[in-house]
Each structure stands twice: as C-alpha cells, then as structure tokens.
C-alpha cells in the first residue's frame, strides 16, 4: 500500500475509474434491456468481456489462470451470477439511485452471514454497523409507506447474493490475485449463463453492440478500479469514495431518465456508510 498523499491520489484515481465504470455499466444495462432479457445481456457482456480480461491478464499477470480453490470459486460465482441477474433486473424496474442504495446494504448481509455461518465475533463496531445498516434498509424501502414491488425485491436479493460473494472473496484473496478471481468469475459465469440465455434468447441487431461493449469493458474496469483503490489506501478512506456512486448515479438518472433523488434513499445510504466506517475504525484500533 502506498503511503501519504501519493497513495491517496492513486486510490482516488482508481476509485474514479470504478465510479465512472459502475455508472456506465448501469446505463448500458438500462439501454440494453429494451431489446433483451437480463440473462441474455449478462451472457453477452461476459462473452465479450472474457477475451478482454485474458488479454490484460497475459500482459499484466502471467499465470493468472492457476488456482487450487475450485470449490470456493464455484460457490462464489453461483451467488454472484444470481446477484448480477437480480441487479440487472432491478435496473430495468427501479430508479438507478434506488438500485445502488439497495446494493449498499451488501455489507449488512455479509456481516450477518459471517456471524451465522463463520462464527465471527459481533463486537461493538460490527453491532453498530449492523443496526445502522438495518435502519438504513428501512429508510430506503419504507415498508408500509411505499409498495414493496418486484424491483425492490430483486435489488435486495442482489445485495444478498453480493454479500455471499463478498464473504467468499475474502477467502480467495488470501491465495488468488484479482485477475485470477475475475477470470474464473467470467468463465464460470459464461458456463452458467449459456443455457439460461438460450432459454430466453431474443434476436437483436447490431445497434445493441455498442452498449454491450460498454458493459463488457466497464464490468472489468469497475472491479479492477475498486481492487486497486483498496491496494493503495485504507478501507476507511476508500469507502467514502465508493459511496459517491450514489449521488453520481442519481445525477445520471436525473439527466438521462428524468429520475428524481428520493432524500430517504440518500439518507439511508449515508446511515449505512456511517455504520460501516465506525465499524472499520473500531477494528483498526483493535
């Protein structure tokens, strides 16, 4: 990890790439869903993205295909594939800012999963993060005050799938590089997605190709941006940068689709961020 202002500047640069990538990925999904299903979009995005990743891996990380954690990769990507399908489906049904706010609940579900299945200790910091996260979820979804529809259910299911992915990724990063994790993510996702995509396949035209290429590139650059940001700076600095995804996608939604930003959504997201930052700082102090 680089130190001082140099490390922070590098982290900010990588995080900037990730933020723009996530926004472009969401827009490409929204535009593509007019012509195809989420499963077909995810399959084609993966099909186009895998050769790009392999080319980068050959140049930057020789030997990136090797791994001994086959079972963990398979488990991770079963849930990641399901999470991505739900996330893309939610993008077609909800305002973009709401989809991203629901995605920010991922650490809440990851903490619960680690507590139940890994037996991790629930200290004061994690307890505060968990309570703040659950209150944030209630602020975002406001059960009883607004309809809990299919889009919201898909958004929360996506966050749950990403939570399992997050827990599995913690185990994989002890042994495998980011390129290795991404390579097996795309490879397994391609194999899982082929029969599903064929089942719902719709003919598409060449006009869809630019958006699919955008999705293929940004699906890789978003992951690389976040991973490298964490490599250059502490999580307590990177997380606030990552949170900028929410106002950024709200701006994109307003400019491109005339979507307004619900203050309850922003407030819930801020509360979730504050809880996670508090937990991280408590853990840093031991």
Q: How far is CA 227 from CA 40, 57, 94, 179, 214, in A?
A: 27, 15, 28, 10, 20
Dist. CA 248–CA 32, nearest whole Å:
20
Helix (H, G, I), strand (E, B) or coil at 46: helix
- Nearest of 105, 117, 115 to residue 163 by alpha carbon: 105
pLDDT in tens, the chain (286 residues): 445 567 778 888 999 999 999 999 999 999 999 999 999 999 999 999 999 999 999 998 888 999 988 999 999 999 999 999 999 999 999 999 999 999 988 888 887 887 777 676 767 887 888 888 889 888 888 876 777 889 999 999 999 999 989 888 888 888 889 899 999 999 999 999 999 999 999 999 999 999 999 999 999 999 999 888 888 877 767 878 888 899 999 999 999 999 987 889 989 999 988 988 888 787 777 5
- With helix as H, strand as E and coil as C, how does 94-131 read? CCHHHHHHHHCCHHHHHHHHHHHHCCCCCCHHHHHHHH
**Per-residue exposure over 62-95, b if at least 16 CB sit within 10 Å of its own CB, e if not:** eebeebebeebbebbbbbbbbbbbbbbbbbbbbb
pTM, to two decimals:
0.91
pLDDT digits (tens, 9 = 90+) for 213-269: 999 999 999 999 988 888 887 776 787 888 889 999 999 999 999 998 788 998 999
Dist. CA 22–CA 220, nearest whole Å:
10
Dist. CA 161–CA 90, nearest whole Å:
13
DSSP 8-class letter at 259: P
- Nearest of 246, 264, 262 to residue 23 by alpha carbon: 246
Dist. CA 181–CA 188, nearest whole Å:
11
């Amino acid at each position: 990890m680089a130190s001082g202002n140099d490390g922070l500047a590098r982290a900010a640069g990588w995080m900037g790439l990730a933020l723009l990538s996530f926004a472009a990925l969401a827009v490409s999904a929204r535009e593509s869903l007019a012509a195809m299903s989420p499963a077909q979009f995810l399959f084609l995005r993966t099909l186009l993205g895998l050769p790009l990743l392999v080319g980068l891996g050959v140049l930057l990380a020789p030997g990136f295909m090797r791994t001994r954690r086959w079972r963990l990769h398979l488990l991770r990507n079963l849930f990641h594939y399901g999470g991505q399908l739900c996330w893309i489906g939610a993008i077609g049904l909800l305002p973009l800012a709401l989809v991203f706010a629901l995605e920010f609940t991922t650490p809440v579900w990851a903490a619960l999963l680690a507590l139940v299945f890994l037996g991790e200790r629930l200290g004061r910091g994690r307890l505060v993060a968990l309570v703040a996260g659950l209150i944030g979820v209630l602020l975002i979804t406001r059960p009883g005050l607004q309809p809990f529809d299919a889009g919201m259910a898909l958004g929360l299911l996506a966050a749950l799938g990403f939570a399992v992915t997050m827990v599995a990724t913690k185990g994989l990063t002890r042994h495998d590089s980011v390129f290795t994790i991404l390579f097996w993510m795309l490879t397994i996702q391609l194999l899982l997605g082929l029969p599903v995509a064929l089942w719902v396949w719709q003919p598409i035209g060449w006009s869809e190709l630019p958006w699919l290429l955008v999705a293929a590139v940004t699906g890789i650059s978003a992951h690389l941006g976040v991973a490298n940001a964490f490599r250059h700076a502490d999580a307590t600095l990177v997380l606030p940068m990552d949170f900028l995804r929410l106002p950024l996608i709200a701006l994109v939604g307003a400019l491109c689709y005339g979507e307004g930003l619900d203050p309850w959504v922003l407030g819930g997201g801020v509360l979730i961020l504050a809880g996670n930052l508090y937990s991280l700082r408590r853990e840093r102090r031991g």
